[in-house]
Amino acid sequence: MQLLLDKGADINYTDAFGRRAIHYASFKTLPQVRLLLDAGADVTAKTKIGQSPLHIAVASNHLDVVELILSKTKHLINEPDIDGWTPLMKPIYWAAGEGNESICSMLLDNEDECGLFLKPADYQAAFSQAIEKGSLGIVKMLWDRREVILNGKNQYDYTPLQSAANKGHTEIVKFLIDQGALIEDHEQGDQALIHAASEGHFEFMKLLILEGKNEDTPLITAAGKGHEKVIKVLLANGADRDLTNKFGDTALDIAEENGKEEVIALLEG
């Protein structure tokens, strides 16, 4: 690249996609980006879809390149692309899946310096994405540094606890419960239990029931609420249908008391 520059190559030549050398370099390594910037490349240049080198570096998880670009011009952190995504909005959302806490932390730091920009809904979306993908570090980061709603529902109408249950992310579930998820909305614990059962997350189901402070066995609890999927999973994993609660009732007794015909059939089968 240095040879081309020495021969007089146009550092700001733009291709059919509106990309310049600085955009392509941002996909790759720090030395190339530094070389182009030192030679006068425009770090603010945008492609036809509105992406700056910062957008690209963030999407490529190149922490060192992100850091270099931000050192040159911090205002880019709030510049949206053609879809309305700023460099901060995309990395937080994407890093949830990639698990790149360093980039998220650095961008939040820069956001703090420049002044808050994202809407609460943007942080909530990132929080939901981190939970969906199992990025515990990013979940904690957003919880600690931004205002997110503990039981706010995502686009699938799931609360964070339900999403974590569905995916079997036990550590995230523990964290959410520690923050008061079940205290704020005890009913969602039942829904999370169903999600866990649907995916066969047996250990996770036990955690939910124990954290729910229920003195009954998991099978008795499920029988009383008519959760057939939960019961099937519990029975398949060796749950003892003859165990009783403190009143001497078995799961079958509870099902009969509550008129849960389908559950009765399962327990008698």
- 127 part of a folded domain: yes
- pLDDT (tens digit, 0 to 9) for every residue of the chain, 269 residues total? 555 555 456 788 899 999 999 999 998 889 899 989 888 888 889 899 888 888 888 888 888 998 898 888 766 666 677 777 776 666 677 766 777 888 888 878 877 887 766 778 888 888 999 998 899 999 999 999 998 999 888 888 888 988 888 888 989 988 998 898 875 555 666 667 666 666 667 666 766 666 655 556 778 888 888 888 888 878 887 888 998 988 999 999 999 999 999 999 999 97
The answer to the question of residue 83 being in a domain is no
> Is the full-model pTM beyond 0.85?
no
Q: By residue range, what is the domain housing residue 129?
A: 88-148
CATH number at residue 4: 1.25.40.20
The answer to whether residues 36 and 72 belong to one domain is yes
CATH number for the domain spanning 176: value is 1.25.40
Element (H, E) at 155: none
Q: Is 153 inside any structural domain?
A: no
Classify residue 27: in a domain, yes or no: yes
Domain count, the chain: 4
| Alpha carbon distance 135, 103 (integer Å) | 13
Is residue 174 in a domain?
yes
Specify whether 209 is located in the same domain as 197.
Answer: yes
**What is the predicted pLDDT for the residue at 250?**
93
**197, part of any domain:** yes
